[in-house]
């Protein structure tokens, strides 16, 4: 039995593929804007509206929320891995460790969605989780190097970094643009608590002003737009 020949491509197919790719990019760009501004609590319907596409079009491109999150944050997770690699390349174990903490917390501050991604897991998003695992293994090495150098407390664990990222995400989500540098104060205090008594953790960043904190507290009373 002979196999039926494949029907020839029609003139419309390249245009349809190009249109589908444009819709995909519009959806990713829209989700990136919304997640960065409002966090991962944004609904799929809100993403569709921001992108100017129908819910059905969004569902065809990204059947699940995890599919969309994986596409939006692939480059951010690459940056996370790069931050670990940069820290490991530092010849000073404490400077590498502290530099990593600053870098990853700054990444959270720059993107509220990524602040959430770093404190959550997405089992179905395998490429995203593979990059997270790669970064995690590097972080374990960073911790071991800093401890062996005598600068990082012996009782520090990798779970403490998860706690820090959760706390930092909370500060970022609470303060927003009302006190945009508050997270730096948190990180400064935490690094002081991680360092051994003989280690100089550097100067403590300035605290938010009373006006900034008041604005942040007022901001928390406003209803969510999601």
Q: DSSP per residue over 37-54, as a string?
A: HH-TT--HHHHHHHHT--
Distance CA 167, CA 161 (A): 10
pTM: 0.80
- Domain range annotation of the chain: 12-72, 74-220
What is the rounded distance in angstroms from the CA atom of residue 216 to the CA atom of residue 5? 66
Yes or no: domain 74-220 corresponds to CATH 1.10.3470: no
Level-2 CATH architecture, domain 12-72: Orthogonal Bundle (1.10)
User: Which pLDDT tens digits describe the chain residue by residue (226 residues)?
Assistant: 455 565 555 555 565 577 778 889 999 999 999 998 888 889 999 999 999 999 999 999 999 999 999 999 988 899 999 999 999 999 999 999 999 999 999 999 988 888 888 888 888 888 889 998 999 999 999 999 999 999 999 999 999 999 999 999 999 989 988 999 999 999 999 999 999 999 999 999 999 999 999 999 998 887 655 5
Same fold, 12-72 and 74-220: no
Q: Which run of H or of E encompasses 10?
A: none
């Amino acid at each position: 039995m002979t196999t039926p020949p494949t029907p020839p491509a029609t003139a419309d197919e390249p245009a349809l593929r190009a249109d589908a790719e444009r819709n995909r990019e519009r959806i990713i760009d829209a989700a990136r804007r919304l997640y960065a501004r409002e966090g991962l609590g944004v609904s799929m319907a809100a993403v569709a509206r921001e992108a100017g596409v129908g819910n059905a079009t969004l569902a065809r491109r990204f059947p699940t929320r995890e599919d969309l999150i994986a596409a939006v944050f692939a480059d951010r997770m690459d940056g996370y891995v790069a931050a670990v690699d940069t820290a490991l390349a530092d010849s000073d174990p404490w400077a590498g460790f502290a530099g990593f903490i600053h870098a990853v917390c700054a990444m959270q501050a720059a993107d509220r969605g990524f602040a959430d991604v770093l404190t959550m897991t997405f089992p179905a998003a395998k490429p995203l989780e593979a990059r997270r695992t790669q970064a995690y293994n590097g972080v374990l090495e960073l911790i071991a190097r800093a401890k062996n150098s005598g600068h990082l407390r012996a009782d520090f664990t990798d779970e403490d970094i998860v706690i820090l990222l959760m706390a930092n995400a909370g500060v970022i989500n609470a303060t927003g643009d009302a006190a945009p540098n508050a997270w730096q104060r948190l990180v400064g205090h935490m690094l002081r608590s991680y360092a051994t008594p003989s280690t100089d953790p550097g100067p403590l960043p300035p605290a938010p002003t009373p006006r900034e904190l008041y604005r942040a507290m007022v901001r928390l009373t406003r209803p969510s737009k999601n």
